[in-house]
Structure formats: C-alpha cells, structure tokens
Structure 1
C-alpha cells in the first residue's frame, strides 16, 4: 500500500511536479479494516474514566521534583501492575485491542500496549509542556480530542470533503496527542501545531514548528516515485518552494526532531526521498527518525517476533528508523465525535512523535536530539527475525554506546518503557569532578550502626545521569545497605551450639564470656594457672579476628576484672564495606563485676567501651573515629529443680555505635534537572539500640547428656527502631 500522499497545488508547466498518488491503493489504506478482524470494536465508552479501576504510581516515592516523580530504576512489580490496570480497565486502552489471523494463529494487537505507552501513562506522563507539530491535511480543529489544547495552524488545513483522505490529519494528530472519553493518544497533554503539506505552505510549517519550540514535527506523507537518489533530490529541491522548505526545515532540525513515515509499499526495494533524506543531507541525521508499520508478537517482557510488516522495510533509512504498530482506532473528521479504524505507517509515525513529547516531560533538561537518541537506543531489537546490518554510535563519536540496526526493521520496535529507564551506565559526578558508576558507590553498614546511615540519608535525592545524559534522581539512602540480620533463632541456636553445655552449667562465670558474642566465628577461652588471668581468642575467618585479655584486680564477695580487647571486623559488625573491602580496627576497655561461688546464686555485670577506626568506602568523603559500647547483666541460681541445674535471666545491650559521623560530598537533586554539590553529614549511632531479654535453664540429664532451654526476646533487633524478634532453643548434647 502507498503511504498517505498529498495532492499538490498546480505548478507552472515548466516545473516537473511529483506524480500523483495511486488512488485505489490510498482508498484501500483508508478503508475500515473490520474485514481483517484487526480491531475488536468501533466505538469507545461513554462518560468519565472509572479512576478507581486504574491508577498511577510514583516512580521514586519520596523523590523531589519531576525526576523524583518519574524515575524508575527497574521494572518493578508495582509498575507492572499499574500499567496492567490501564490496559485491562481503561476503556480508552481496550478500544485499541484487536487481533490478526495469521497462518492459523491469532495475534493480539494494541499499539498503546506494544509500544509500552501504558507504562508511561502509569507514571502520570502525558507530554505536558511539549509541542508536536503535525504537517498534514484534513484537520478538524474542533474535534473533541483536541479540546483544551493550545493549537496553532499555518496554511489551509481545513477538511476537504472531496479529498481522498479527508480525515488524515485529524487521525494523525489524535494519535500523537488526542484525548477524549473514547480514545487517548500517546501524549494527551501535549499541544499541537497544524500545518498544511501544500508545497507553498511547507516552509511556513517548519518556521512555525521552530517558533513554537516543537519537540517533533510529524510528517505522515511523502513523494510518490521519488526514491532516495541524487536525481530525486534535484527534481524536488530544485523547485524554489521546496528549496525554501528545505532551508526552513534545516533551521528547525537544528533543535527539533523531524519524523517521516516510510512507504507502505511492503515490497519496496528502495527507501523514499524524505524518510532517507539524511543520506543526501548528512547534517540532518541527528534530527531525523523514519517510522515504519509492523505488528509485533509480544508480551509484557518484550517483543518476541514480527507477526506482520505492513510497510516497506527501513532500507537506506535503517540508521535512523523505528517500527511501531500503526493500527489504530482514532479520531475522524466526519464530526466532532467521529472515530474509525485505520492502519499504515502514517499512524506509526505519530506514536514516535508522541513518545518524544513524553520523554520531553520526563527529561526536561535534554534537548530533542538527545531524546531522539534515547528512542533509538531503547528500541527493542531482541526479537526473532532481527538481523543486524551494523551499529551506530548514538553518543555521536565517543564509541561508548553502540546500538544495532537492521535494513528491515531499523533499530527495532518503539519501547517507551525502556526509554524511561536508565540506558547504559548510570553515573554520578563526585566532588573531584570525576564521574563514578552508581553501582560502584554502594556500601554496606555494620550491624552496630543499625539504621543510622539509612535514617541519616532519608529524604535526600542525588542527581545521576545515564550514558545518554538522562537525569535520574537516586535516593541517597539507596546507596547504603544495612547489615543483613539473621533471624534471632538462628543467632541464638548458633551461639548455643558453640558452647560446652556441661562447662557452661558448672563453671564460674567468665569475665570474657561475652567478649566476641556479636562477632562471627568461634571463640577459644584460656585461663591462667592462678585463675586470675584469662584470654579469649576470636577466630572469625577472613577479615574478622581478635584477642581479649582480662586480669582480676579484686577478689572476694565481689570480683572485679579489667581487660583490654583488640579486634578487626570485616564490616558486618562495625564500620563499612564496599566492593573494595572494608571493616574496622577496634580497641576497647572491658570491665566485669561478678559474684559466683559455683554452687549457688550468681550474677555478672559486664561491659566495654571502645573506639573504632572505620574504613572509608568510595561513596563517603570522610568518616570520624566511632565510639561504641556494650553492656550485659546475668542473674541466676543453681540447684533449682535438680541438683546441679542452672537457671538464669539476663538483659543486655549488644554492641552499638554511640558516637561518630560520616560525610558524603555529592550532587543533590533540586528538581527540574538542577543539582548542587553539597556535603551531607550524618550520625553513625542508631536512634534506638537493641535490648535483649533472656531466660535459660540447663540441667544434666544423665552421666553423658546435657539439656539447654533458652528463650530470648529482642527489642529494636539489629539496632533498628521498632523491630522485634523472639527465639526459643531446645538443645541436647550427648558425649560418648
């Protein structure tokens, strides 16, 4: 099928005018497609949308400014569900549902779905603030889909009832930016410029698009029998009116993006002059997109194959070409509320133009040429049948971001969802001016800090950019990962299994019993010959190890032990860790006050205070020395239910940071694409520290067996405010 062509004003006989359109093919294009079972229905719902049935989400909850509203780091389930709510419940989406019967199979079609516009609309993007210029004919400016928009026009754009395509411009514009209770276009919040494709009006159309700052100028038309050759170029642009248009178009293209529909001749061997014009006018390439019409086989993850290609292939325009499903139920010019079905590359092109408007709203600091690069770079080319003919450097020369294209499908299918996600490496500019990959800035915090770092960075968004200059807000707290906290039951069980049950039941209380309780690994305790000296060795493996020494300085009814503990942590308990390593060197003074004659009541009060030299991860500019402490009290008695048994209750404050600060010097997002380098300082001490309450009972069950029962309740578990956990352990140990 030929794509929608123009009827030109009569020109002087000495000028060779482009040939006329093929009317029979054109009429076939515009006819209702109900015979192909392409679209399921011919009308939309009445009244307002049932908003309770579909909903939008915030891409970055708590984010500030426009980036905070639209940034999505990945395809989350929440985003999928919101997009599905539009597809499944919004009647303006469902009116586009249809099927193709191909080779005995049925292929589902919906251009809003296959191009992932549902994901953009689910984020609240509408193209607000953007302008789309449409060069066409047959505009019914009073159609309800254009109500409330700012619409300017140049040339004679009125509907011509004698035209072969009286509704063409109305349909194209409604797909790009229309909205009513019946249908919704790609960018319903965008404003419009209507311009005639008449030869004497084209220069004015380009000038008006430039004056309005249009992000895209859509052209769903072309020249019949004018392939991309130098001869065609000379025959068209040798005409003064067209030469003036080319000059005006170049001025517009210096900032805006020109979108041209490619031919609907499926078996065309050569691209048309206009869709492939950058081949002869290389300066236009960074401003040009050619749009073809194809129906993809797809699901929510992506395009898997091509059901039908209904237009020509991209051919010589492949380097700047995209495919989209040009099968639509859209506005017609029969009345202000008329709609109908149509297909063609004419209706694929305005999807691309509308997508540029959506990106202009999401990335207001990017120029239209940069938005064009995002669309090409994010096009889905992973489907069966895509054969790469080459790749193009979309960063214009630095050879760091190449995207493959094919002569048939160009860069692939339009995928607005992918265009909204980070493309390539997401980087952040640091205080020294260097750009660092965001993935290299993540770090983990030790359990002794609890929620301190995440809490300290809450509510702050940092500015990052992807490989194509797209700006994204990243929550500062997302760089910090709290130490993984095992369930309390696992911790208590591991601690219990590491004990000698009989010795723990009968031996006097050791002043070093809790020295390395919070560390991973095993502890070996040794007592000096005089009983007044003790040493504990912690062998954690890897980067965790330590030694604790104690000396009894007072003995009697109350025993007083003083000691020194030196240790190294890998970062899981104290300090930070990132891809390059981490941890902390720690030193502490210990004190223990106890009473235990080994046969009756006992108690032990022990604690420590120390300092930690923390490793500074790459994301942080500086870290002070941190202070920490721990405290525990155990009270109990023996011979309660049976001779030699042991009952104890305890309360403890496991190790936690009590003071310390860290600093990040980072670009803080201010909204609307603005950022400012700031110093973020935050405390390392948790807001609430963990408190453990415990009850334990031990007894001998015979000559070679021991019983242990322990119950523990932890408040603010992992030094995280409001988190509780409980554990119960029943242990039996036999010796042979």
Structure 2
C-alpha cells in the first residue's frame, strides 16, 4: 500500500512542556512497559525498563505549543529490513509507503523492528518509540544479490525525497569485519576509493557503491542514518559497515551507530548501577555511537495480526536497539522541525546518559559540540544511553541571538533578564514584545520560544530607575556653586531654587557625578547669572559627556532659568548599561532646551516647575535588533523647597513629575521568530511607536543639612514607576556624609 501525502503539521513554537506527574503515570502503563523483560537483579537493584531508561515517557507526555504530544506526529521514518506484516495491529491503519517492499513475505524480524520504531499507542499490545510516526518500508528480501546495492540506493533516495527524518538499518552483511581491521585492509588494497574497495570485497561495480554512498549523503539533508552495530562481541570493535563514515567521511554529518547492552538501575534514585555489553563495542565509531537496551519481550510476530512472542521468549540484539534510536530521532524532529539532521544527531549524543562506573572507566575522549558543551565518549558505549528528557530541554541555558545565523550570532543569556525597557524610550519596546513569540536558542543553537514578557528578568514592562544617591549628589553639587550667591545677594536664594528642578527631570544632567562633574556660576551685568554644568568621563573610550549652559534671572518675586544642554553616551543606552540586543547602542545623545520658574511663598517655602524638550539619536550596535534613529522627548515636574527645617542650616526638596519620555518617533524592531535548517535566523519587521510608553513618573525628596561641625549630611529617597502598568514601583534610598577641608 502506498500512502498519500498528509497535510503539513503546524510547527510548534514553544518549549516542549513536561509534566512530571503525567510522565510517571504514563511510565506505569501496561502498554508502555509491555516490552520490559522484567529482570530481577537483587536487593536495591532493578532491571531497566527499556523505554523508561531513555525517558521516553517524558517525551510522550510533553506538550508542544500546537497541543501535540511528542510522539512523532507528522514525521516519516524509513525502515530497511527483511519483511513486514503491515496488517499487524501495531501497524494497521498507519500511513505506510511500501514502494520498495519488492515481494514482501512477512517475517518476525521486520515486523518487530518496525513496531519498536512506530508501533501504535492504542492501549493494545506494546507501543513504539514514535507511535504517531508514518513509515517508509524497504525490504531487501528476495532482491537479487546483483541488484541489492542499487535497490538500497533507490529506496534511500525515495525516502529522502519524501522527507524521511530517519532511516533504520537493523541488518548487516553476511561477513562482518572490525572497523580497525577494515582500515588496514583498505589501506593495503591500493583501492582509489572506498567504493572501489567495496566492489572488490562485496561485488557489484564501484559506480553502484558510489551511488549508494551518495544516496546516504543525500539522505542526511533531511534525515539521520541509524545503523545497528554487529552482535558479534568477538569483533572487539564496531563493524566496518556501522563505522562507514570513517571510510566515507561525507557521511559523518548525521550518522548514528547503535550498540546493545543490558542495564540495572538503583531502586533509590533510578541511576544506572551497571551495564553489560551484549554486542560489539562502539570502538572506532565511538564519536557517533550510542548504546540502547535491545533486550525486549512480547514483540510482535508475523504469525498473525495480533501475534506476539510469549512471556518466556526474550529477544536481544542491536536490531532491537537501533529502532529505539530511530524513533527518538523522529521525536526530536517533531519537537524541533527547524533543525538539521546533524543537529538532531548532536542533541541525542550531547545529552546521552553516562551515569555509571563502566562508562566512566572506558572514556577515551571528549567531544565539543558547541562552546561550553562537551560530552565524553566511551570505547564500549560511545556517548552512552539516549535521554529524551534532556534532549528535549535547553542545553546550556537560553539566549537571544542577534545576527544572521544562530551559530555566529551574538547571544545574550536570559539569565538575569534581557533589557527591554530603557531611558527615554521607556517600555514602548517591551509593550511591543508582549504577547509575541520570540525565538531564543540554547547553547546548541536549537530554537525555543518564549513570550516577549518573559525576556526581562524583572518584568518586561519595567522602565529603568534612577539611583537616589545620584539625585542627592546632583543637588549637593549645584548647592555648592550657589553658596556664595545666596550669601551675597537677596535674589540668590530664588536663583538657586530655579536651578534645582532640572536636576530631577533633565535627561542631560541625569547623572551629574564623578570626579569630572562641575557646576560654575558667572555673574552678568543685569544681575543674573550664567551657569555651566557638566561632566566628561572616559571620553577617549566613548564614555559620557554632558554639558548644560543656563541663563538665570530674577524678576518681581520670580526666578527663572533657560537652559540648553547636550549629552552623549558611548557604548551605553543614554548612560545606562543595557543587556541584550533590544537596547544595544554604540552611541546615544540628546540636544535639549529647558525652562524652569521658581516663586518664593515665604521666607521658608518656595515652589518651582521645570519642562524640557529635546531630540535624541541612537547609533545602533551591529548586534542591535531595534533601530531607534532620532526621536523627540519631553520631561517636566514640580518642586517644593523648605529651608530651615530643623536646624536653620538644612534644606528639604520635594519633587514629583515625569521623567524624560519620547512623545514622537518610530523605531524599527527586528523580532527573531524562527530559524531555518542551516541556522539562518528569520525575523519579523515591526514598527514601534515610541510614544506608546506608559508614563514614567518620579517622586521623592532630598534632605541636606550642614551640621555644627560643618559636616554635610545628605539623605535622599526616590521612587520611579510607570503609570498604569507597573504595580511595583522601584524605590531607592541614599545616605551620605562629607566634610570639606
């Protein structure tokens, strides 16, 4: 029977969500445990359940964003074997492509292998590792020896053309040779290629063998070749056919050799207690080899549609170990459809179990799969036992990738949060990200997906907060420059009052601190003053530069200030260090004009107001995902000052208002939404209205007291919050004491 193509299955766009309780319950089910021989190995020890050992139950109960469980839905597995009873209840009703069955005589071996790969999970009998996968079957039974290589070639090409994600090969040649011996024989043969050598050893023509190798290579663009190792432990090495990539290097991309062992577990924690190798070791193929438990019971037979081996018949062999791995590749292909077959292979190898002494004592090397991701491999067991729970989880943490390809892109770890809100732009970008699926990657470049709200570790909508210490020091620095004015001029106090409001709401003077900060007054002929304020820090390395020039005058009980300012920050986002590509900038700057007015209400109280209007620019970092360009912003607020609060030498400033916020401008957001099999990142281009930010409010106070010992005591309290969306304001408190000599 030849299947008709199915409708494409919607690709998942989220984490495979696992359920510990559901997985445990599923693992206890009779159909899941049906193939378990139930070995008894003594006190504190239990024989491993084949599927549970590899955490298949976690995959089968994991939920993808499209609602599917990870059971192989939408995938196609090719099986090359010797006869299939396709009407068996484990296979009946499945979509099966039988184009290359030749004259199919149902046999136990092919029926059992195929059922291990994809036997149905329907509450009857046993189940396969990928019970919802479709099948492409190839039988080499009754194929003339002279035509076998071409038959395998054509079948492999057909499976690849139809999108098979794995090809299971639980078969071998009549005469098997250890890979190490094969290398010696090949090198001594004088053959110009392994295709020529294969023709010399097994018949056929070099062209036929080269065509088969090319078919295997072509298959690896869509799927993984899985090959059962020899059952002859006396070989002392992997069979040459299992280790074919050693002789045909272009096949090493997505090729997995599978050996067979039985396992016992510690009943206390489920860790592997011991393993007994039952086949040839991984040996020369260790770098691309895994070990599965191929000792099974109650396998389907070809005697009838509901026929199974009885309780006292236990089969073992790499033929039954390999299809478990082929099914696992299908599970990975369903969960991560955007990965290449090489990456499915990597995930299986890099996450395999190695937790038993026999593995540790036979380690012969370490393989590096990605920066920070290494995995040991053993001469006996290769990379160990596949672990589907770990293979479905992020490896090495998640990051936002910004660039053209996941393998070369700059990455920002989600640990601690990625900055999505910033000075001046507020939470406009964070709001644009909310509710959208954002692609993030693990250390292997595998795509996972999170809601934009999850990016910022302290809440995606939160805007940055000022430090109360900065504001207090700003007030103190300005006060120092007015000290002599207030002493010499009746209008000095009013001018000082007019100069203070900008400190709480000006973008340029937001961080007027450090050894290079300054504030100087220069009198003018009309009784007013010019004030120069600013700072320069690490200018040679980009640093921060801020300058403000102000004209201060007093008229009829009012004091006013007109200021012009310029600020520039290199390597930061308006002076704030930001994590990640949403607030990345090589250089930011602003040019602004501000006006303030102050009125004395009494000898002790005065009130003031400030407003600033400016234009900003952002020079994007190459890794930036947001192009802000230029936009306009505004800020402003009210102040109240009380002199002689307690001691006659103290002062208290209250302030409340709006921090700098964009009111006009549009940013271009490149949102990572997926990746292709070659790692190319796919983006959605979005426009972000920078004015669509929640209003960033600020209120607080600064208290300054000159003690009798001429110490200056500073105390400040500040709170920043977003009107309407930030339920948890950000509070900061500062306390300072200084004395000048």
TM-score range, shorter chain: 0.5 to 0.7
CA distance in 2, matches of 1:366, 1:501: 58
Once the two structures are TM-superposed, the CA of residue 587 in structure 1 deviates from its matched residue by: 2.6
* 2-structure distance, mates of 1:373, 1:703: 71
SS, match of residue 69 in structure 1: coil
| Residue 191 of structure 1: how far off its partner (Å) | 1.4
Partner of 1:336: 306
Deviations 1:628-677 (A, max 9, x none): 22211023656789988877654211222333333356876599999877
SS in structure 2 at match of 1:146: coil
Cα separation, 1, equivalents of 2:476 and 2:248: 84
Contact 2:585 2:620 in 1 (8 A): no
> d(CA) in 1 for partners of 2:606 and 2:246?
91
Aligned match for 1:69, one of 7, 13, 20: 13
In the alignment, does 2:292 pair up with 1:324? yes
Distance 1:451 1:377 in 2: 39
SS of the residue corresponding to residue 551 of structure 1 reads: strand
Higher mean C-alpha displacement, 604-613 vs 676-685: 676-685
Q: Is structure 2 residue 153 aligned with structure 1 residue 180?
A: no
| Distance in structure 2 (CA, Å) of the matches to 1:708 and 1:277 | 76
Q: Note the C-alpha offset of 1:534.
A: 3.3
What is residue 89 of structure 1 aligned with on the other side? 25
Quote how far apart the aligned CAs of 1:291 are: 0.9
Shift of the 608–108 alpha-carbon distance from structure 1 to 2, 3 Å rule, reads farther
Contact 1:487–1:725 at 8 Å: present in 2 too?
no
- How far apart, in 2, do the equivalents of 1:546 and 1:174 lie? 72
Label 1:218 to 1:521 Cα distance change in 2 as closer, same or farther (>3 A). same
Q: Tell me the residue number matched to 1:655.
A: 660
Shift of 1:605: 0.6
Count of aligned pairs between the two proteins? 645
Residue from 449, 455, 469 that aligns with 2:425: 449
The aligned counterpart of 2:613 is 609
RMSD over aligned Cα atoms: 5.7
Partner of 1:536: 533
C-alpha distance in structure 2 between counterparts of 1:465 and 1:479, whole Å = 13
Q: Secondary structure at the match of 2:280?
A: coil
Q: Distance in 2 between matches of 1:623 and 1:695?
A: 33
Measured after TM superposition, the shift of residue 311 of structure 1 is: 2.3
Tell me the secondary structure at the aligned position of residue 607 of structure 1: strand
In 1, the alpha carbon distance for the partners of 2:595 and 2:210 equals: 87
Give the match for residue 191 of structure 2. none
Q: 1:437 aligns with which of 398, 409, 422?
A: 409
Per the TM alignment, residue 194 of structure 1 is displaced from its structure 2 partner at its CA by 4.9
Deviation per residue, 1:2-49 (Å, 9 max, x gap)? xxxxxxxxxxxxxxxxxxxxxxxxxxxxxxxxxxxxxxxxxxxxxxxx
1:89 counterpart SS class: helix
Q: Encode CA deviations 1:98-117: one digit per residue, 9 max, x unaligned.
A: 99888987477454455454
Structure 2: 5+ residue runs without aligned partners? 1-8, 187-196, 487-492, 505-509
Kept in 1: contact 2:11–2:337 (CA 8 A)? no
1:688 to 687, 694, 712: 694
Distance 2:659 2:87 in 1: 73
2 CA distance for matches of 1:520 and 1:686? 28
Query: Among 55, 68, 78, which residue is 1:133 paired with?
Result: 78
The answer (yes or no) to whether the contact 2:430–2:461 under 8 Å persists in 1 is no
Map of 2:134 onto structure 1: 191
User: Who is 2:170 aligned against?
Assistant: 220
Relative distance call for 1:331 and 1:391 in structure 2 (3 A) is: same
Measure, in 1, the Cα distance between the counterparts of 2:26 and 2:673: 38
Question: Whole-Å Cα distance in 2 between the matches of residues 666 and 716 of structure 1?
Answer: 24
Shift of 1:716: 0.5
Query: Aligned runs of 1:554-569 on 2, under 5 Å?
Result: 554-569=554-569
Write the deviation string for residues 287-337 of structure 1: whole angstroms up to 9, x where unpaired: 7532112467999x9999974333220234445433233355664348738
Deviates more, 1:342-351 or 1:705-714: 705-714
> Relative to 1, partners in 2 of residues 1:151 and 1:647: Cα closer, same or farther, differing over 3 Å?
same
SS in 1 for 2:610: strand
TM-score, length of structure 2 as denominator length: 0.67
Aligned to 2:499: 512
* CA–CA distance in structure 2, aligned partners of residues 173 and 99 of structure 1: 22
Gaps of 5+ in 1: 1-64, 73-78, 161-165, 396-400
Aligned to 2:4: none
**Equivalent position of 2:259 in the other structure:** 292
Name the TM-score, length of structure 1 as normaliser.
0.68
